[in-house]
Structure 1
C-alpha cells in the first residue's frame, strides 16, 4: 500500500511538470499574427502638406466715389454676370455737380457768342479806319484804337473758349463720378462676401471701400504650406492630389507656383505652394482644409504590400517576408522596387493574393 501511494505521488508530479511545460510554451502560441494580402495597386512617394482651398480668381468690388450706399442688388451666393448692376450709391451730389457744369458751359458759350459779335463789330471799325487813314481822313490815333479793340475781342474769345474746354473736362469728370455711383460686376462669378451694408456711408478719399467680393468658383487653388526641408523636392508641374476634411473624394491637379517668400510661424518656415483644380460641380468651397500629397514618383499596377511586413536590411532591394503556406509560415526573400514609409512595390517573390505575416505583440502587451 505504501508503495502504491508513492507511485501515485510520482505520477502526479510528472503530470504537474508536464503541465508546467505547456504553460511555459503558451505565450508563443498566443502571439498575435496579422496576415495581409499582396495586392495590385499604386505605390507613391510623396510630400505631404496641409493647406486651404481658395478661389483662383476673385475681385474685391469697391467704390471710387464717396456717399451713402443706397441699395445692394445681390446677396451672398448669387451668381452674377459681367456688367450686372450690383449696388448703387446716392447720386444726388454728383447729379448736382453735373447739372452745374452743364449750366456753366451754356453760360460760357453765350458769353463767347456775345464776344464774337463784339469782335466782328471791332473788325469792321478797324477796317473802316484803315480805309480812312489811307486817304488821311482819319487820324493815326483812331486807327490804333480800332486795332486794339479788335485784338482785345479776339483775346477774350480765346479765353472763353479755354474756359469752355476746362468746364467740359470738369463735366466729364463729374459725369464719370456720377456713373461710379452705379457699381457693376467686373467679372462673372459668385458673390462670396458682402462686408458693406445698405445705408452705410462710404469714404473713398484715401482707399476704395470694399462693398462685396466676387469669385470664380469653377477653378479653385489650394494654398499648401510646405516645410522648408521639403520644398527642394517640389517643382512646377509636379502632380498633386488632395482631399478635404471628412470627404472621401480625391481631387488631382499640378503645382502652378511655389511662392519665394516664406511664412514664419513659431520659428517654423513654411512656403506656399499653389495647386489649381477644376471645380465644375461646386463641391469645393472657400477655406476648406486640404490634405495635399505632391507625388514625386509613382508606380502603377504594381504588386504591393505594407511596409511593415518587410524584414532585414533591404540591401540591393532584398528583404525577407513571412509567407503563409499550407505547411505554415516560411521565410521568403523578395526583391522590391519603390519603398515608402507605408507601402512597398514587390517586383520578385510574391504574387497578388499571397498572404504575408506581420507579427505584433500579444494582447495585453505581455
Structure 2
C-alpha cells in the first residue's frame, strides 16, 4: 500500500511540473514588467575582434656607425629619453684627424706646385712669342721656334697635371671629413633607448654594414593590428570607426579609424584572418605599449535618429517579431520589423510610433528568443 502511495505522489509531482513547464512555454515572457517609451536615438552595429598594439614603421630605429675604433663617449642607457639631434656616442677619431692634417698639407703643397708650373708656363709662352717675332725678322731659325712652342706646351700640361693633383687631394680631404662625421653619432629621432649593443671603451668594427650601437623607439608612433575574421572582412572597410580597450584600462574606451586592410591573409588555427591597421592617436599612446592585446569593436553600420527600443523588448513568437504594447487592462502584442541592433538597443523599422509604451519583460525564459531579422552582432 505504501508503495502505491509513493507512486501516486510521484505522478502528481510530475504532472504539476509538466503543467508549469507548458504554461511557461506558452507565455515565454512576463508581459507585466516595466515600460519603455519608444523614442528616437542612435544604433550602431559592430563586430567584435581581437587586436594587438604594434610600433609603426620608422618608430624603431637601430642607430649604428660606419667608423671603426674605440667607443670614447656613450651618454644614454636603456630607458633614458633622447631628443632628436643630440650627440649619443663618439668613436676615437685621432687617426682620422691625423690623416686630415696630412691631406691638408698635401693640398697646400699641390697648390704651390701649380703656382710654380704656371710661372714656368708663362715663361715658355713669352719665349715662344719672342722666337716667333725673331723668325719674322729672320733673326732665328724655325727649329728654335718649334722648340720654344714644345717647351710651352709641356709647361701647360704640367700645370693641368698639378691642378688635377690639387683636385684629387681635395676629394681625399672630403672623404676623410665624411669618415670623421661617422665618429659622432646623433639621435635620428626622439624617443626612449630600448637597447644598447655596446659599452664605453669597447672597439667598434664596421664591416659591410653599420655596427649597431643603440636602439631608439618613439612611443608616440603606434598602430593597432586587428585580426578580422573572413566572415566580417566584407563589412570592414578603410575609414570605419573602431572602439577598443586594453585589459589594464578596461573602463577606458579609445577610438580610431581603420586606415588600411592588408590583402594578404593570415591563417591561425585553420581560421582565415585579414589585418586591418588603425593608427593610434598620439594623445592615446601614453597609455599603450607595444604588444598589448586589444579588444576591438568595429562599427560596421550606424543609424542615427531612428526609433529604438531595448533589445529584450523584441520577442520572437510563432515565427514573428513582436513587442507588447501597454494597454489599459493588459498588454497587447504587435508585429514589428526590427533593423540594426547593438548591445543595448534595437532599431524598429516599422510597427511602432514614437511615444508608444512597450513592456520590458521582467523575466526572460529560455524558450524565448530575440529578434531574428536584425543583423548579426
- TM-score, structure 2 as length reference: 0.73
**Following TM superposition, by how much is the alpha carbon of 1:148 offset from its aligned partner in structure 2, in angstroms?**
1.3
Give the direction of change, closer, same or farther, for the CA distance of 1:74–1:130 in structure 2 (3 Å limit): same
Match of 1:280 in 2: 283
- Report 1:195-214 matches (<5 A): 195-199=196-200, 201-202=203-204, 204-214=206-216
The superposition leaves residues 51-89 of structure 1 with CA deviations (integer Å, 9 ceiling, x where unpaired) of 221344515143351324443323344443332222223
Contact preservation (8 Å) 1:38, 1:304: no
Determine helix, strand or coil for the equivalent of 1:218. coil
Match of 1:311 in 2: 316
Determine helix, strand or coil for the equivalent of 2:197. coil
Match of 1:58 in 2: 59
Report the number of matched residues.
345
- Report 1:38-49 matches (<5 A): 43-49=43-49
Distance in 1 of aligned mates of 2:85 and 2:146: 63
Give the direction of change, closer, same or farther, for the CA distance of 1:309–1:74 in structure 2 (3 Å limit): farther
**Following TM superposition, by how much is the alpha carbon of 1:240 offset from its aligned partner in structure 2, in angstroms?**
0.9
**Following TM superposition, by how much is the alpha carbon of 1:258 offset from its aligned partner in structure 2, in angstroms?**
1.4
Give the direction of change, closer, same or farther, for the CA distance of 1:196–1:354 in structure 2 (3 Å limit): same
Contact preservation (8 Å) 2:324, 2:358: no
Contact preservation (8 Å) 2:261, 2:275: yes
Contact preservation (8 Å) 2:35, 2:357: yes
**Following TM superposition, by how much is the alpha carbon of 1:175 offset from its aligned partner in structure 2, in angstroms?**
0.9
Q: Which moved more, 1:110-119 or 1:237-246?
A: 110-119
Note if 1:230 corresponds to 2:221.
Answer: no
Q: Which one of the candidate residues 98, 101, 120 is aligned to 1:99?
A: 101
The superposition leaves residues 177-201 of structure 1 with CA deviations (integer Å, 9 ceiling, x where unpaired) of 21122222333x3125225222555
Match of 2:262 in 1: 259
The superposition leaves residues 299-334 of structure 1 with CA deviations (integer Å, 9 ceiling, x where unpaired) of 4687454569743476xxx52468999x99x88456
Contact preservation (8 Å) 1:129, 1:146: yes
Match of 1:5 in 2: none
Match of 2:12 in 1: 21
Note if 1:217 corresponds to 2:219.
Answer: yes
Match of 1:73 in 2: 75
Question: What runs of 5+ residues in structure 1 fail to find an aligned partner?
Answer: 1-8, 362-366
**Following TM superposition, by how much is the alpha carbon of 1:130 offset from its aligned partner in structure 2, in angstroms?**
2.8
- Report 1:152-171 matches (<5 A): 152-171=154-173
Q: Which one of the candidate residues 109, 112, 120 is aligned to 2:111?
A: 109
Note if 1:292 corresponds to 2:276.
Answer: no
**Following TM superposition, by how much is the alpha carbon of 1:125 offset from its aligned partner in structure 2, in angstroms?**
2.8
Q: Which moved more, 1:301-310 or 1:171-180?
A: 301-310
The superposition leaves residues 92-118 of structure 1 with CA deviations (integer Å, 9 ceiling, x where unpaired) of 343334233322212211221221222
Contact preservation (8 Å) 1:303, 1:351: no
Q: Which one of the candidate residues 348, 354, 365 is aligned to 1:359?
A: 365
Match of 2:371 in 1: none
